[in-house]
Chains A and B, each alone.
Chain A
């Protein structure tokens, strides 16, 4: 199987999102480059709305991540509660 990845601008909006991803995906590995943070994860990566909300103390619309998203790979599936990236094989 292969890695999926997602990268965000390094800023205050993305920090709780990155923290939530790293907690919810034990295999996720983050690496920092100038102005950006890239997270790699084997096979599958999940972003959960509730994990972000518990960090920021307000309701969060998952589409807000578009504001600091840089790039991603894998098949994407998004609904109101979570965003998943995965490879099928």
Chain B
């Protein structure tokens, strides 16, 4: 290509156009559909890939420059944190349990996102789409790595962070985020970007990162705030791209609208269910609380999502099914989730506790219609039991929802005193669901979800014991054998915060000055 040399530097739009329009070529000895075999079977029709644009118009040189600067800032702080015993500066050792949940549940998803975008980045026919996916794939790998590096400074001193990669594929509650991403990865490339770029990054990611990182800041965790906000600066790009992707697909062909709407219904609900873990983190796990789950849902769900779906109405898109139910559940979600983790505190890789008096007053103020009436008595009963030396640990495995894999503790949208049960029959077997929306997702693709690796089923089938374990041996304790299989250090990684090694060490180290060699 001949280009006239010009004295003036190219503008942003011109640079981006050269990168994304000038570098591709037409295939000659293979047809396009054989080079890009996955972009047609989902039914999405694309007529002009050049309509896909990254609104930030980021070119590779700018990408590496800014990402490099972000890394330098972050690692300077990680070093300072490690050198100055930053872990002792957090509000309370209970806070560290929120970080355990993060490294166990969220960081592995960053790595899966890296793989997912590398995969779809190969599959899309258009150059802009491939470049956007390539950048996001590198971003996600950076997130996984910076999170590991930050949290490793806690892992030196506290329990519950040592084998997170092993846990991600095995532990009951971690199958919730794992199955979410596996479900997206095993969809086609368009479903993957609608699921991850739009439903998760655009609609829901603010609810994960913004309260988590503001919470970290408020609780004195400098390292986590910094990796969080460093990642979040990339998320802003991912979110913007998520919206562009949706507009691109919808504008290409009217036949795409119903397909996208169905994916939005599905992936909003799948993502929202994963955020159940965030709701209890905000309301119960942060010693110093920033905002309630209910408030976060109102700001980032109802207001922001409301504006978004209002805008998308011009394409014939409506709010996802399940949107109204999420708004009803905002009064209940975190309380029900924390109660379940309190029950299963012997099988969780972080500590649980009953809320303090101060916590309970905060919860009453934030949830005036539900906390005192429905949840305070339950926690106070358990608190009393624990005082009498009868701390309650549930030893019976829960029934799981086949779609979201969360124990079936959610209540009926119309009656918060009644557990919600739904079921479907498929090829002679019965499948159980926590909600109408999880049932709908299954009913549309039963052949996919009958393959779900449900932790409770796997335990009962004997698939969660270490090799060589003999379940017929006298005195065999199946639950302890499962925890061994998890690599859970009984009495250190699990059980109540009260009396834990983390609690004792944190108090001792803070009382007797610096820890270390």
Give complex CA distance A33, B211 in Å.
Answer: 10
Interface string of A25-42 (1 = CB under 8 A from B): 000000001111000000
- Asked if B500 CB lies within 8 Å of chain A CBs, one says no
Question: Given A3-B307, A66-B237, A76 and B55 touching (CB < 8 A)?
Answer: yes
In contact, B307 and A75 (Cβ under 8 angstroms): no
Contact among A35, A68, A87 for B310, CB-based, below 8 A: A87
Question: Given A2-B306, A34-B214, A87-B311, A78 and B66 touching (CB < 8 A)?
Answer: no
- Asked if B239 CB lies within 8 Å of chain A CBs, one says yes
Residue in chain A with minimal CB distance to B288: A34
Residue in chain B with minimal CB distance to A76: B55
Within 8 A of A (CB), among B66-120: 66, 69-70, 73
Within 8 A of A (CB), among B228-244: 229, 232-233, 235-237, 239-240, 243
Question: Given A35-B225, A87-B311, A71 and B58 touching (CB < 8 A)?
Answer: no
Residue in chain B with minimal CB distance to A74: B307
Question: Given A2-B306, A33-B290, A71-B232, A76 and B311 touching (CB < 8 A)?
Answer: no
Interface size in chain B (residues, C-beta < 8 A): 43
In contact, B210 and A89 (Cβ under 8 angstroms): no
Contacts of B217 in A (CB 8 A): 34-36
Within 8 A of A (CB), among B276-313: 290-291, 303-304, 306-308, 310-311, 313
In contact, A2 and B311 (Cβ under 8 angstroms): yes
- Asked if B206 CB lies within 8 Å of chain A CBs, one says yes
In contact, A66 and B236 (Cβ under 8 angstroms): yes
Contacts of A75 in B (CB 8 A): 55, 243, 247, 311
In contact, A73 and B308 (Cβ under 8 angstroms): yes
In contact, B290 and A34 (Cβ under 8 angstroms): yes
In contact, B307 and A70 (Cβ under 8 angstroms): no
Within 8 A of B (CB), among A48-89: 63-64, 66-80, 87-89
Contacts of B235 in A (CB 8 A): 71
Contacts of A33 in B (CB 8 A): 214, 290-291
Minimum C-beta distance from A72 to chain B (A): 5
Most B CB within 10 A of own CB, among A3, A33, A70, A74 = A70
In contact, B69 and A71 (Cβ under 8 angstroms): no
Contacts of A77 in B (CB 8 A): 55
Most A CB within 10 A of own CB, among B13, B62, B214, B291 = B214
In contact, B56 and A2 (Cβ under 8 angstroms): no
Give complex CA distance A80, B229 in Å.
Answer: 25
Minimum C-beta distance from B203 to chain A (A): 10
In contact, A78 and B57 (Cβ under 8 angstroms): yes
- Asked if B514 CB lies within 8 Å of chain A CBs, one says no
Give complex CA distance A23, B306 in Å.
Answer: 27
- Asked if B468 CB lies within 8 Å of chain A CBs, one says no
In contact, B58 and A70 (Cβ under 8 angstroms): no
Interface size in chain A (residues, C-beta < 8 A): 30
Contacts of B306 in A (CB 8 A): 2
Contacts of B229 in A (CB 8 A): 9, 35-36, 68, 70
Contacts of A3 in B (CB 8 A): 303, 307
Question: Given A33-B214, A36-B210, A72-B239, A67 and B55 touching (CB < 8 A)?
Answer: no
In contact, A63 and B210 (Cβ under 8 angstroms): no
- Asked if B339 CB lies within 8 Å of chain A CBs, one says no
Contacts of A20 in B (CB 8 A): none
In contact, A71 and B239 (Cβ under 8 angstroms): yes
In contact, B213 and A35 (Cβ under 8 angstroms): yes
Contact among A69, A76, A80, A89 for B233, CB-based, below 8 A: A69
- Asked if A7 CB lies within 8 Å of chain B CBs, one says yes
Give complex CA distance A73, B55 in Å.
Answer: 13
Contacts of A73 in B (CB 8 A): 239, 304, 307-308
In contact, A88 and B314 (Cβ under 8 angstroms): yes
Give complex CA distance A35, B77 in Å.
Answer: 15
Interface string of B195-230 (1 = CB under 8 A from A): 000000000011001100111011000000100010
Give complex CA distance A49, B78 in Å.
Answer: 32
In contact, B240 and A72 (Cβ under 8 angstroms): yes
Contacts of B209 in A (CB 8 A): 70-71
In contact, A71 and B236 (Cβ under 8 angstroms): yes
Give complex CA distance A88, B66 in Å.
Answer: 30
In contact, B218 and A70 (Cβ under 8 angstroms): no
Within 8 A of A (CB), among B336-375: none
Residue in chain A with minimal CB distance to B236: A69
Give complex CA distance A36, B206 in Å.
Answer: 13
Give complex CA distance A4, B240 in Å.
Answer: 13
In contact, A71 and B210 (Cβ under 8 angstroms): yes
Given A7-B210, A66-B233, 16 extra CB contacts under 8 A: A3-B307, A34-B215, A34-B218, A35-B225, A36-B210, A66-B237, A69-B232, A70-B232, A71-B235, A73-B304, A73-B308, A75-B247, A75-B311, A76-B240, A79-B12, A80-B11
Could you list 18 examples of A-B contacts with CB < 8 Å? A3-B307, A35-B229, A36-B229, A67-B66, A67-B70, A68-B229, A69-B232, A70-B232, A70-B236, A71-B206, A72-B236, A73-B304, A78-B55, A78-B57, A79-B11, A80-B12, A88-B311, A89-B311
Q: What are the 4 A-B residue pairs with the smallest beta carbon separation, nearest first?
A: A2-B307, A35-B217, A34-B217, A76-B55
B-contacting residues of A (Cβ < 8 Å)?
2-5, 7, 9, 33-36, 63-64, 66-80, 87-89
A-contacting residues of B (Cβ < 8 Å)?
11-13, 55-58, 62, 66, 69-70, 73, 205-206, 209-210, 213-215, 217-218, 225, 229, 232-233, 235-237, 239-240, 243, 247, 290-291, 303-304, 306-308, 310-311, 313-314
